[in-house]
Amino acid sequence: MLKTLIVAVALLAAPSLVQAHQVKAGNLELIHPHIRASMGQSPTTAGYLTILNHGKTADRLLSISCACAASVTVHEMKMTGSMASMAQVPSVEIPAGGKVTLAPGGLHLMVMGLKAPIKAGDMVEMVLTFDKAGAVKTPFEAADRPASKPMSDKMPGMDHSNH
Ligand SMILES: [Cu+2]
């Protein structure tokens, strides 16, 4: 079932891979949504994108869902001295005329409870729900993880080593 869904999304996205990197919804523009391919049987990975707000009022990312996983939340990685820690962020404001970037080492979409491994090249659809722009279906392209960061072995608790 899940595999069928992923294949269907990939087929739909194939003719327009370039557009898949950019989704417009109202005043918002979602740029280069991508998700890190999962490692082995790890049930956890992370998603990244940049959100532009062309509007004159702020919007807010309220929640994320994915058929691929049990939960998707926004996390922020912070450095305290040389220690990295993670905290869940309840919502993310996209300022009027501004942007928010989710990238390794900072804000990211924390994907937990993966129902199947995600391989590089897969297209994974998530639904990002914004206060004003509403629910936005967004295809995330899976990419191999970047070289592991030296700080990753200092991360406490949970399975945060994937990002
Ligand atoms: Cu995290």
CATH number of the domain enclosing 30: 2.60.40.1890
What ranges make up the beta strands (E) of the chain? 22-25, 28-36, 44-53, 59-66, 69-80, 83-89, 92-94, 99-102, 107-114, 123-130, 134-143
Residue 151 lies in a domain: no
Burial of 50 (0-12, 13-18, 19+ CB in 10 A): middle
Q: At a CB cut-off of 8 Å and minimum separation 6, what does 112 contact? A: 43, 44, 69, 70, 71, 72, 73
CA of 76 to the centre of ligand 1 (A): 7
* Percentage of residues in the chain having pLDDT higher than 70: 76
Helices of type H across 67-156: none
Domains contained in the chain, number: 1
CA dist 92 and 129 (Å) reads 11
CA of 110 to the centre of ligand 1 (A): 5
Tell me the residue range of the domain where 124 lies. Answer: 2-14+21-145
Give the pLDDT confidence score for residue 21 in this predicted structure. 74
Residue 61 lies in a domain: yes
Residue 141 lies in a domain: yes
CA dist 103 and 37 (Å) reads 15
CA of 56 to the centre of ligand 1 (A): 31
Residue 31 lies in a domain: yes
Give the pLDDT confidence score for residue 79 in this predicted structure. 85
Give the pLDDT confidence score for residue 4 in this predicted structure. 52
Residue 127 lies in a domain: yes
CA of 162 to the centre of ligand 1 (A): 8
pLDDT digits (tens, 9 = 90+) for 46-88: 999 999 999 999 999 999 999 999 999 999 998 888 888 989 9
CA dist 95 and 99 (Å) reads 6
Residue 158 lies in a domain: no
Burial of 80 (0-12, 13-18, 19+ CB in 10 A): exposed
Residue 160 lies in a domain: no
Give the pLDDT confidence score for residue 91 in this predicted structure. 97
CA of 1 to the centre of ligand 1 (A): 27
DSSP secondary structure letter of residue 126: E
- Mean pLDDT over all residues of the chain? 83
Residue 111 lies in a domain: yes
pLDDT along the chain (163 residues), means of 10: 51 46 92 92 94 97 98 93 91 98 93 96 96 96 62 43 52
- Ion ligand 1 neighbours (CB, 5 A) are 75, 86, 110
